[in-house]
Structure 1
Amino acid sequence: MRSSRNRTLARGAVGLGLAPLLLAAAVLPASAAPGPQGPPPHANEDQSYGQAKKNGLRTVAPDDLVIGTAAAGGGHHVTAGYPDPFTYDRQYRRILNAEFSSVSPENQMKWEFLEPERGQYNWGPADAIVENAERNGQAVRGHTLLWHSQNPAWLTEGVASGEIDDTELRQILEDHIRTVVGRYAGRIDQWDVANEIFTDEATPRLRPENFWIQELGPGIIADAFRWAHEADPQATLFLNDYAVEHIGPKSDAYYALAQDLLAQGVPLHGFAVQAHLSFEYSFPTSLQENLQRFDDLGLETAVTELDVRMPVAEGGPTEAQLEQQADWYQQALEACLGVEECNSFTIWGFTDKYSWVPYFFEGTGAANVMFEDYERKPAYWALHETLAAAQD
């Protein structure tokens, strides 16, 4: 029996039995959408959207679980040779709205994209995602606040040169967290506050490249949670990382950190595993057990960035690869469903058309649950059937 207590869903409509009504409004009106809309949808677009609207993932998911995806945009998409996906691709947006009850900005809330110049915020893309989610009854996960990567040049160069001293750096972080979280207070359900703070070594340590921690000390992690909580007391605040799906040194480091933060009274509410899986490695079979031990600490848990990449030959993935991928997606979902307070399950994009994987892992791809033309893979149907079975 899964718990009915869910801070994430308490502020959304999905867990209140309103999904069928909200899906009726899943198309983003042209007058409300940012940017050009392109040509009218083709027949196959309408068919794909209609299918999702009637029986998409969000319609078959249990009431106490939001099923989410990343909203493509920012990051590598800026130079990928096509217009910003979320803004310009109506077909993409329609299917996202019909299929998913939660959305995470893929890059649009990362620091380099949100505050490219000091004190000058680029709110438009992030606002568009939040507003679209509100129109379509979707929860929003904020991503991310304290991270060593994708920071703007004015910040990283200022720290490296000594132009920004420790006192000013601390104030910059506090101002950014309070400004961003405060802007979306009451509108963003979960935040990845501290992201990827441990190394991947046999004996993990706090990342030396994380200048926040190296310059300001480990105590800045607790401060970041406190500032975020003060800016929005309703939001659920998470630690988030990759390669922490199984029980091992890195997840052990997070377990110890979580215990320490909770003992200090820090407003830490959840632990999230990204779950960027690859056929290069084995499936993390201790995933459910690992999530459960954080649940036992009183934390919510979440799968936040699931994809399953594979080596891809010229002819595309084989039937055997697609079957293995479907099995891994299903196992990950079943692990979350088996933990009482695993209330949020997010896949990192849903179509290979806009996947980040080929840009960062050469020779691999096909990591998402739909092909580039939005045809649903076996992985999609594995999620669909598992979600539907969980309602019984």
Structure 2
Amino acid sequence: MKERHSATKNVIILWFTVAILLSGSVLLAFEADPSAANQSDATAAALKSPFTSPLKWKSTGAIITPVSDETHTIVSVKDPTIVRYNDLWHIYATVYSTSARTWSMVYLNFKDWSEAPKAKLHFIDVNPGLRGYHCAPHLFYFRPHEKWYLVFQSQQPQYCTTDDLSKPETWTRPQDFFEGKPSGAPGLWIDYHIICDDTHAYLFFTGDDGSFYRSRTRIEDFPKGMSNPEIAIQDHRNNLFEGSVTYKIKGTNTYLTLIEALSPARHYRAWISDRLDGEWTPAPGADTWQTPFAGINNVTFEEGVIPWTRDISHGELVRDGYDETMTLDLNNLQFLYQGRASDSSGRYELLPYQLGLLTLDRSQAVKGDLLNDAAESELPALKDVYKDYFLIGGAFNRNLVMGRDSNAAELAIKHFNTATSENDMKWSLIHPQPDKYNWEPADHFVDFALKHNMVPIGHCLVWHSQVPGWVFTDDAGSPLTRDALLARMKEHITNVVGRYKGRVKGWDVVNEALEENGTLRNSQWMKIIGEGKPEQKYDHIAKAFEYAHLADPNVELYYNDYNLDVSKKKCDGAVEIVKYLKSKGLRIDGVGIQLHGGLDYPSKESLEYSITALAETGVKVMITELDIRTQKRGYRGADVGMVNRQTTSDSDAESEQTQQKLAQKYAELFSIFIKHKKVITRVTFWGVYDTTSWIGGSPLLFDRKYQPKQAFDAVIKVVQDKN
């Protein structure tokens, strides 16, 4: 919504997205409009749909209308945000008060849509902190904080929090996302919304200038630390105006953005992407005035309802949940939108907007199964092919274990018998605040693994990265003493390992404690606990292993690091860690060679050196984070914050020549693994299919469409040739 009172807001280009759901579900995408510009053949093919026609919607009449009270005279209700929680619909919306001469917000709730017309509007200015100009709300529950967030427009993006979304008076005083206006923001920035993936929270907004903007921050830093805004999509302002909303499609790795278009009348257009920090593509059949995601050209009105609006303007789709992931079920599409009488005109703030509800017309026939021929074919399962050699697994993200990427889950269930938590057991996510643990995602991971007969691996307890800053400081912000940090480490390890005692098979206790030359990393852990004394340099590692063993005496304990396969000095440093721990009588069961490789590394000689050297210490050897970079080399540790995925989608990574080299490298590696089967107990890929990779490109065995690549065939063939 605009602050100024000339033509303002409401263009929501609803971005439609391809849904890849399991059998029995619906795939929603569309035939490309021949007039749509800039649609590559590859994109059109990727968006090909079993639907034979664009979307069609049925609309109610106006079901939520402006109702004034003794202190508020309002002329409109608009910009709704909606969640279903505790068996009630909860809606926050914008109103324009002619008595106060400003935009404000209201709250209402009801159980059934039939009750909506009579639902009481509660004016949010009952809260002293929310008096004055506040509008265009976006509501969600942020699970890491166990708080409701209300994001809204007030000159710049602001937010409030509460424990009870049904009580407007309980929202905290508004806070800014940014300190001042960032350089990347447009002159007019409006209509803000938040969506999160496993590692980052994204703030998206529009500028009424044909641009769609994004900022982001790490989950553990939210709501602070937003990056300078960048343009994610550009178009003519008539096609990309305002009122944007972004969703994650349930059961897929696809995101949908909807943005309101300005003319000929307000309507929504749709864009899709496989990642929030990636490139967005117009959704064919849902991206023009003639065939919009939602607009007067594909909306009819329910029987007995006189068409009451030409605008299909600022609103939200009904979500499958209410949390920060903004998950959407394409089998149950409804859209709460604002409309107005076609003959209304005048100053924008005085336009008589009301709310109506669109429901997708389900009469459209579905002509096919979404999972393609390959999903129905009988591929050999990796875990079965390698059952006589070692466990085969993958790093699982939150979307997979919580049911939001069901195709990835199917691949994992079929092919893997061990699972590693990619991010949700790292300190910043599982223990984001001193007295607060976020158990839910990690619980889902362990439950998923055990349910599907996989060996769960916890990753990781002590690491220099993805650790909140408060871990190393006291309440005054001063560095902790050695004893205080050891106490904090012990508490964390005891709580985390203890929670999953008897369920998690093994823990990466310490991760990446070595420099490239084999010396210990000068991390906060080492500096504070080691106190600069040579005789204490291993103490932060030793104490972590000691505390983990005390928390679960039966769990296996591992040291994990990258480049052990390419650096003899670093591998020798890991050997020294093992020897030191054993000399102190501490338990260490194995060392993880991450093996973030490339098409030309590691060499056979360096990999075999590391396997042999580590095995000679008497511990198990595991390949813990396997992937093959198909692009230029970069950082090789799996710190998700070190890679900008937007830059890793080069077409060269998908070339036939590259895929052949990738297959050859995987075959070479697995031949070495089999050769050392007596000491290698587990091989884990860092991801399940290419879209889930932290490095982008084409590093895994399954492509972005969940299909096996030449590399998969090569890995299978290694065993077939041996037999």
Give the structure-1-normalised TM-score: 0.79
Residue identity in the other structure for 1:242: Y
2:699 corresponds in structure 1 to: 367
Structure 1 pair 37/226, CA: closer, same or farther in 2 (3 Å)? Answer: farther
1: CA distance, partners of 2:485 / 2:475: 8
Aligned counterpart for 1:301 among listed residues 605, 608, 621: 621
User: For the structure 1 residues 187 and 46, does the alpha-carbon distance in structure 2 shift closer, same or farther, using more than 3 Å as the test?
Assistant: farther
Paired residues of 2:582 and 2:588 also in contact (CA < 8 A): yes
Taking a change above 3 Å as real, the CA distance of residues 335 and 247 of structure 1, as seen in their structure-2 partners, is farther
The answer to whether the 8 Å contact 2:394/2:418 transfers is: yes
Which residue of the partner structure matches residue 411 of structure 2? 95
Letter of the 2:569 counterpart = P
> Does residue 660 of structure 2 align to residue 323 of structure 1?
yes
Give the match's secondary structure for 2:630.
strand
* Structure 1: distance between partners of 2:484 and 2:611: 37
RMSD over aligned Cα, in angstroms? Answer: 2.7
Q: Distance in 1 between matches of 2:389 and 2:576?
A: 28
Is structure 2 residue 670 aligned with structure 1 residue 333? yes
* Identical residues among aligned pairs (%): 28
How far 1:372 sits from its partner (Å)?
0.5
Choose the corresponding residue for 1:231, options 551, 554, 578.
551
Q: Which amino acid aligns with 2:701?
A: V
Alpha carbons 2:375, 2:707 under 8 Å: kept: no
Confirm or deny: 8 A CA contact 1:279 1:309 kept in the other structure.
Answer: yes
C-alpha displacement at 1:298, in angstroms?
A: 1.3
Partner of 2:598: 278
1:197 offset after TM fit, Å? 0.3
| Pair 1:204-2:518 in alignment | yes
After superposition, where does 1:76-115 map in structure 2 within 5 Å?
A: 84-87=399-402, 88-115=404-431
- Distance in 2 (alpha carbons) for counterparts of 1:302 and 1:309: 20
Aligned counterparts of 1:99 and 1:260: Cα–Cα separation in 2: 37
Answering whether residue 381 of structure 2 is matched by residue 43 of structure 1, we say: no
Name the amino acid aligned to 1:212.
Answer: W
Cross-structure match for 2:380: 55
In structure 1, list runs of 5 or more residues that go unmatched: 1-26, 74-83, 359-364
Unaligned ranges ≥5, structure 2: 1-21, 26-250, 252-319, 322-326, 332-365, 531-537, 632-648
Deviation at 1:264, TM superposition (A): 2.0
Equivalent residue of 2:666, what SS? helix
1:8 corresponds in structure 2 to: none
CA distance in 2, matches of 1:130, 1:64: 24
> 1:37·1:89 contact (CA, 8 Å) conserved in 2?
no
Q: 1:47 to 1:181 in 2, by over 3 A?
A: farther
Q: Does 1:69 align with 2:401?
A: no
Deviation of 1:153 (Å) = 3.3
Given the superposition, is the C-alpha separation of residues 177 and 308 from structure 1 closer, same or farther in structure 2, using an over 3 Å criterion? Answer: same
- Which has the higher relative contact order, 1 or 2, with Cα contacts under 8 A spaced 6 or more apart? 1
Please report how far the alpha carbon of residue 163 of structure 1 lies from its aligned counterpart in structure 2 after TM superposition: 5.3
Contact 1:141–1:190 under 8 Å retained in 2: yes
* 1:370–1:377 Cα contact (<8 Å) kept: yes
Trace 1:372-387 onto structure 2 (pairs within 5 A). Answer: 372-387=704-719
* Larger Rg, first or second structure (1 or 2): 2
Partner of 2:582: 262
| Equivalence for 1:287 | 607
Aligned length: 341
> Is residue 694 of structure 2 the alignment partner of residue 356 of structure 1?
yes
Q: Normalising by structure 2, what TM-score? A: 0.44
Where does residue 14 of structure 1 map in the other structure?
none
Q: CA deviation at 1:189?
A: 1.1
SS of the equivalent of 1:345 reads strand
Match of 1:347 among 678, 685, 689: 685
Q: Which amino acid aligns with 1:352?
A: D
Tell whether 2:495 aligns with 1:179: yes
**Could you report, residue by residue, the CA deviation over 1:309-336 in whole angstroms, capped at 9, with x for unpaired residues?**
1226436422221122112222222222
More strand by share: 2
> Deviations for 1:313-362, whole angstroms, at most 9, x for unmatched residues?
4364222211221122222222222221211000101211222103xxxx
| Helix, strand or coil at the partner of 1:97 | helix
- Post-superposition shift, 1:56? 1.6
CA contact (8 A) 1:275 1:304 kept: yes
Please say if 1:124 is aligned against 2:447. no
**Letter paired with 1:369:** L
Question: What secondary structure, in the 3-state scheme, does the structure 2 residue paired with 1:186 have?
Answer: coil
Of 216-225 and 148-157, deviating more is 148-157
Q: What does residue range 214-229 of structure 1 map to in structure 2 within 5 Å?
A: 214-217=527-530, 218-229=538-549
C-alpha distance in structure 2 between counterparts of 1:144 and 1:56, whole Å? 28
Deviation of the 1:271 alpha carbon:
1.0
Q: Which residue of 2 aligns with 1:139?
A: 455
In 1, are the aligned partners of 2:518 and 2:571 still within 8 Å (CA)? no
2:464 corresponding residue in structure 1: 148
Q: Where is the helix percentage greater, Structure 1 or Structure 2?
A: 1
Q: Structure 2 CA distance, aligned partners of 1:119 and 1:384?
A: 47
After the TM superposition, which segments of 4 or more aligned residues of structure 1 sit over 3 Å from their partners?
A: 33-42, 46-52, 156-161, 279-285, 312-316, 387-390
